[in-house]
Amino acid sequence: MSLDDYILQHITPEDPYLHDLYRATNLELLRPRMASGHLQGSLLRMLVNIAQPKHILEVGTFSGYATLCMAAALPEGGRITTFEINDEQEEFTRPWFDGSPYADRIEFVIGDVLDILPTRNDTFDMAYVDGNKRQYIDYYDLILPRLTSGGLFIADNTLWNGNVNDPAHHDAQTQAIRDFNDRVANDPQVETIILPIRDGLTLVRKK
Ligand SMILES: C[S@@+](CC[C@H](N)C(=O)[O-])C[C@H]1O[C@@H](n2cnc3c(N)ncnc32)[C@H](O)[C@@H]1O
């Protein structure tokens, strides 16, 4: 048995609704590996349970798996605003939100977060960033001023399949992730840790 399988057998079991969503994601969507899945979804839910944010931002909804994991742990009156740039995704994802017990906590916005967020007056206590890897620094610059003090900025894929520390990789996505990692590590406004879970998850806490 692989260590990943062992871990999955020794964490709280996946909610049946999320299990069905993950299965539908794999059967019906291209690039289903983009969905967070049970291990990372469980960590996100745990972080929301601990931090109890009133308002969460997600960049990159895709099938809504991570959205629903986080929505499940929101405190009373809490909400999550999730942005998805691909309008073709709405037909799949919106019914999964509407059919869940958390529909009234989820605001699903179709459009580019970099265009829309500047037109709104939101503040957030937590942000989960999982969009275009080349835009991570842009997301950071946009979101950090809108994050409350003590708020958590979470960025996915920050080890990029182990490419970040391999000088043989020069592609734009790898370089953009490296630039983001350098930037947050040197930003005195925050404290930062990278968890080597899945494809690397960076937790950035605004001081
Ligand atoms: C890795 S998937 C998200 C997976 C989802 N967060 C989860 O954990 O299950 C990335 C998604 O980000 C979307 N995306 C990319 N750039 C974006 C942007 N600027 N604004 C909003 N969504 C974006 C893509 O269309 C894609 O569906």
Question: What lines the ligand 1 site, CB under 6 Å?
Answer: 34-36, 59-60, 62-63, 65-66, 83-86, 89, 112-114, 130-132, 135
Helix (H) / strand (E) containing 45? helix 37-51
Best residue for ligand 1 mutational test, from 38, 47, 86, 88 (most atoms within 8 Å of Cβ)? 86
Distance 39 CA to ligand 1 centre (A): 18
**Domain boundaries, given as residue ranges, for the chain:** 3-206
Distance 1 CA to ligand 1 centre (A): 32
Q: Is the pTM of this model over 0.95?
A: yes
Note the pLDDT of residue 100. Answer: 98
Considering the four listed CATH numbers 3.40.50.300, 3.50.40.10, 2.40.37.10, 3.40.50.150, the one that applies to the domain covering 3-206 is 3.40.50.150
Encode pLDDT of 7-19 as tens digits: 999 999 999 999 9
Rounded Cα–Cα distance for residues 27 and 168 (Å): 34
Predicted-complex ipTM score: 0.99
For the chain, what percent of residues have pLDDT higher than 70?
100
Distance 60 CA to ligand 1 centre (A): 2
Nearest ligand 1 atom to alpha carbon 41 = 8
The beta strand positions in the chain, using DSSP E, are: 55-59, 79-84, 106-110, 124-129, 147-156, 190-195, 201-206
| Three-class HEC string of 91-121 | HHHHHHHHCCCCHHHEEEEECCHHHHHHHCC
Encode pLDDT of 118-177 as tens digits: 999 999 999 999 999 999 999 999 999 999 999 999 999 999 988 999 999 999 999 999
